[in-house]
Chain A
Amino acid sequence: MTPGAREPILEVRDLVKHFPLTQGIVFRRQVGAVRAVDGISFELYPGETLGIVGESGCGKSTVAKLLMNLERPTAGAVFYKGEDISRLSGRALKAVRRNIQMVFQDPYTSLNPRMTVGDIIGEPFDIHPEAAPKGARRRRVRELLDVVGLNPEYINRYPHQFSGGQRQRIGIARGLALNPEIIVADEPVSALDVSVQAQVINLMEQLQDEFGLAYMVIAHDLSIVRHISDRVGVMYLGKIVEIGSDTAIYDHPTHPYTQALLSAVPVPDPQAREGRERIILTGDVPSPANPPSGCRFRTRCWKAQERCERQEPPLAVPPVLADRSGEVLHDSACHFAEEKPRVAHG
């Protein structure tokens, strides 16, 4: 799916989140900052799924929290239908929240153990009484349970009486309660068994078709992201290094980091595995409190040259792709972007 001329439903512009590092107890002074998210921009279009991948600590979850207004950005803005929602508060913020909901990573801590399922899924209606008339709430909760494939009779049970996959369905039902347009899912299946992961992912796709939801799915599992996403962004140390359609990212990656990530995906087919080159990155991810100058990936990149240290590569269509068209055309933040055959899987 290419965005085409449609208006984005969510637009993120130069979003920055620095967490200050302080020293001293009485007189706190700032000695630095963890640059969790350091200037990222992307758009989300109605009905599409944008996947964000990257290794642990690259700032994926902070992006989700910024979109949900659970953290305030240091700089930059999040536009929902043209309105900057990152500075809203009070009533206006509450109104926007109806349209953007979240599914959490760990279904074992995202449901209050002392509330019944009926109270958990019904809470959105208590907070937004205009969303459902008082008499109809209980019925709506049962409908929601049915929509996510749980027995509506479970309404009086407590979260600990369910399996992980069932709990995640409860979390999804809570997210759907207010009929949002956007669902931000932070690692929605990484805490689940592999067999259950597929069920939950399929449920999410089915709900997307049914309610026309736009998803932003954050994950570190590349296969799941490919399965569910229309477009994919790759994050490294608080920045997006490559973003484009799933075909572009998975079959025509040009950024060395994306290529390294893809080469690490296990391929179940032994024949396809043979001609494949594996890129093994050396070293660790640098500290986000003290990121490298220029290109952030240069410390682990086999193509790094003096220019990478000096000049930060912009996220733009690289020259090698300039003459390509359609889905393959995408942005990549590398001075030496080029396609590397035989790293992509499938």
Chain B
Amino acid sequence: MPEPHRPDTPFDAQGAALDEAVVTRTDPGRARSLSSDAWHDLRRNPVFVISALLIVFLLVIAVWPSVIATRDPLYCQLSRSLEGPAPGHWFGFDTQGCDVYTRVVYGARASIAVGVCATLGVAVLGTVVGGLAGFFGGFWDALLSRTTDVFFAVPLVLGAIVFLSMIKLSGIWPVVLVIAALGWPQIARIARGAVITAKQNDYVQAARALGASNSRILLRHILPNAVAPVIVMATIMLGTIIALEATLSFLGVGLRPPTVSWGVDISAASDGMQFRNAPHILLYPAAALSLCVLAFIMMGDAVRDALDPKLR
């Protein structure tokens, strides 16, 4: 290639004008990319900082609940059943006379583990299936979309009850696996639509004309432009999944005592009579659940916005 030149046409002036108009915060010496720009923005976004701190806090108490709760969540005194807040027991006592505060803290582990793991499973499975169906189209689209429809037809709660009562294993992993295996079709449909929309853009053709491989086109061009609706859907599903864990626990097929989880406590407290007499046993675990879901939704929102350069 010959020496680069500077054409003496009017667009130089136009370029200079743009330089002044747009506030430059560019250090052209350093290469920037979408991810580094997004990280730069996120660190300055209060919504992201607050939600990240909240999530870190929730993760810390999920891993080391004893840091802020010194009692044993399984030590209960029936004599104090449904008693209100008392010194040293700020959230009161539940039906069994266990300390509600301790149980809310210890419940974080199972609830967050089920919520986060199942959501990750659902998001990854749904994105892969929907993405491949949308990208390859034709036969693969027909096969994967019909498979999605079959799974979509199985009601989530009913399917989970059937599978969980069949496998008869306790602990959180069966619950995570069943929710992930049955919950992905929603994400798959959204991902498929988003991929089909992104695929039709000329920049995909341009990448192909340059000789880009399918995996490069999918990962560099289609996924970044199709991931926003999946992030939104997944963060909303996180709340639904934690609530679903509660439903399954209530029905006796999810987590079982002695496992402590928000869901177990919420279902145990969901009796109308008890709620009238002692609302605190429902309110505290429910508030913890809402706070956790809110934190993830805020984080998802902030990440989605940071990945869209047009919103900067």
User: Which residues of A are at the interface with B, using a C-beta cutoff of 8 A?
Assistant: 65, 68-70, 93-94, 97-98, 101-102, 104-106, 109-116, 118-119, 123-124, 127-128, 138, 143-144, 146-147, 149-158, 160-161, 163, 165-166, 169, 171, 174, 178-179, 199, 202-203, 206, 210-211
Contact = CB atoms under 8 A, between A and B. Distances in A.
Interface in B26-54: 26-28, 30-34, 37
A59 B143 CA distance: 32
B15 A151 contact: yes
Given A111-B203, A158-B310, 4 more contacts: A113-B225, A114-B224, A114-B307, A161-B22
B256 interface: no
B309 A151 contact: no
B86 interface: no
Contact of B202 (A93, A110, A160, A203): A110
B34 to A, nearest CB: 5
Contacts of B208: 70
A179 B1 contact: yes
B7 A150 contact: no
Contacts of A119: 33-34
Contact of B210 (A97, A144, A152, A156): A97
A146 B6 contact: yes
A113 B310 contact: yes
A116 B216 contact: no
Contacts of A70: 205, 208-209
Which of B6, B11, B18 has the largest count of A CB atoms less than 10 A from its CB? B11
B209 A94 contact: no
Given A114-B224, A156-B28, A199-B11, A146 B207 contact: no
A163 B12 CA distance: 14
A127 B220 CA distance: 12
Contact of A102 (B1, B32, B209, B312): B209
Contacts of A155: 28, 31
13 contacts: A97-B211, A110-B205, A111-B206, A114-B308, A116-B33, A146-B4, A149-B9, A149-B12, A149-B15, A150-B11, A151-B16, A156-B30, A203-B7
Which of B7, B27, B310 has the largest count of A CB atoms less than 10 A from its CB? B7
Interface residues of B, number: 46
Which of A112, A154, A160 has the largest count of B CB atoms less than 10 A from its CB? A112
A98 B211 contact: yes
Which of B26, B28, B224 has the largest count of A CB atoms less than 10 A from its CB? B28
A109 B203 contact: yes
B221 interface: yes
A39 to B, nearest CB: 24
Contacts of B165: none
Nearest to B198: A112
Interface string B1-26: 11011110111100110110010101
A65 B4 CA distance: 30
B26 A114 contact: no
Contacts of B4: 143-144, 146-147
Interface in B94-137: none
A154 B21 CA distance: 13
Contacts of B307: 114
B66 interface: no
A153 B210 CA distance: 25
Nearest to B11: A149
A166 B1 CA distance: 22
Contacts of B1: 143, 179, 211
A202 B10 CA distance: 12
A199 B13 CA distance: 13
A53 B301 CA distance: 48
Contacts of A114: 34, 224-225, 307-309
A199 B28 contact: no
A113 B209 contact: no
